[in-house]
Copies of this chain bind each other. A is one copy, B any other.
Amino acid sequence: MTISDIARLAGVSKSTVSRVLTGSTPVREVLKSRVIKVIKKYNYSPNLAARSLSLKKTGTIGVILNLDPDYHFQDYVSMETLRGISVTATTSHIRLSIAIGSVASILPGIIAERSVDGVIIMGLRDGDIETLSPLSSDEVSPADTIPILLLNYSQEFKSYPSVAFSHEKDAYSLIRYLAGKGHKDIGIIECSPELIYIQNRKRGFLNAFKNLGMDFNDEWDIKINKVNENTAGKEAADYFLALQRRPTAIVASSDNIALSFMGRLLASGVKVPEDISIVGMDNIPISKYVHPALTTEVLDGFGRGKKACQMMCALINSEEIDDKHIFISSAIVERDSLLDIRTRKQRVYFLREKDGLYKG
């Protein structure tokens, strides 16, 4: 079923059918309704390839998950982001093309073949900047390139628009929050310290320590280069268990690390939160239901995806955008794995349905 078939069946030219479809030019009511009837009858929808070719627009957004494709997704927040993008795209009748793998291997191809109108990149790393730069150099005419939107922010990438979590600010708030609960001795688990967001968080932590007049003990900052977050938690636990003097609270760079860290501590007879408080990040669903329930930072992945999709649509339509860089700030949800060491009271959380959020 093509536009010519519809035209023939409705007794008009294909130009007229096209005008009815796009609404670009008014069509007499009598013809219009005749065309619509035929379209409905045969459930006709214009061929995407033909339309894209003519309009020089594909109606598709590309999403690159810049991950090692050989490893599991373990990343709840990324999946929530994807869901946010998808739901928003669907309501705008925009298609989504996704690819998992390195930006370097994926991006040049999709730009050359013009299969999408814009690209959203998740999880860009420092080294990947070299892949992007030739695309925005002076040699390339603007017509030969497409908008690129990043889902993380760094100084190095700041020429590209972004929708990212405000990790630095959030990390600062978290330390202030813990200090408010009486914690002065705070440890940090940094998993994959080469990741940009881990570095941003680190800056926030250090700033908070400095401004709050707290010591930052290097011995309590463990860096783990592990893709598998679960063994990272175990490794970190073994490290802290071996120390003479331990922090009263430990901040992990994800809930997965926090949970496996906590599992290992519990198995070793350490009491959480009585001996050590634990704070995670991500608010993965299970974190609310483990025992003790995990105190964690809530990252609104869905919101990030939604904003990203909206911003990408604006970029594609060359609309004015207010902010080139949008930041999504986190909240802290306090559950049982955190002890207030001034009162030595732990919250009894497990049965509650609703989380009380603290926005820093």
Q: What is the count of identical protomers in the complex?
A: 2
CA gap between A60 and B96 in the complex, in Å: 11
A108 part of interface (Cβ distance < 8 Å):
yes
A32 located at the interface, meaning its Cβ lies under 8 Å from any Cβ of chain B in the complex: no
> Within 8 Å CB of A69, what residues of B?
83, 86-87, 90
Across the interface, which residues of B come within 8 angstroms of A25, CB to CB? none
B289 close to A60 (CB less than 8 A): no
| CB-based contact A230/B47 at 8 Å | no
Bound: A83/B52 CA distance, A? 28
Given A1-B144, A87-B100, A286–B230 Cβ distance below 8 Å?
Answer: yes
- The 12 listed contacts between A and B (C-beta, < 8 Å) are A45-B109, A46-B113, A50-B53, A79-B79, A86-B100, A95-B99, A228-B285, A234-B289, A260-B290, A263-B293, A264-B291, A267-B350
Report the separation of the CA atoms of residues A44 and B58 in the bound assembly, to the nearest whole angstrom.
18
Interchain CA distance A263-B292 in the complex, whole Å: 8
Known: A90-B100, A95-B99; 10 extra A-B contacts, CB below 8 A, are A44-B112, A46-B113, A47-B53, A49-B115, A69-B83, A72-B83, A73-B79, A74-B285, A87-B100, A98-B98
For A209-233 the 0/1 string (1 means CB < 8 A from B) is 0000000000000000000111101
Of all chain B residues, which has the CB nearest A106?
B90
Q: By the criterion CB–CB under 8 Å, are A96 and B98 in contact?
A: yes
Asked if A112 meets B285 with Cβ closer than 8 Å, knowing A49-B53, A80-B73, A100-B87, the reply is no
- Total contacting residues, chain A, CB less than 8 A: 64
Q: With a CB–CB cut-off of 8 A, which chain B residues contact A90?
A: 69, 99-101, 106
A49-B58 in contact given A230-B289, A267-B350 (Cβ < 8 Å): yes
- Interface check A281, CB cutoff 8 A: no
- Neighbouring B residues of A86 by C-beta, 8 Å: 69, 98-101
> Is A27 in the interface zone, CB < 8 Å from B?
no
Q: How many angstroms between the C-alpha atoms of A267 and B352 in the bound complex? A: 13
B residues within 8 A CB of A13?
none
> Considering the complex, which residues of chain A in the window 268-323 have a beta carbon less than 8 Å from any beta carbon of chain B?
285-286, 288-291, 293
Docked CA distance A109–B76 (Å): 29
A48 within 8 A of B: yes
A184 vs chain B, min Cβ distance (A)? 28
Query: Are A114 and B49 within 8 A (Cβ)?
Result: yes
**Is A251's CB within 8 Å of the partner chain B?**
no
* Complex Cα gap A230–B351 (Å): 12
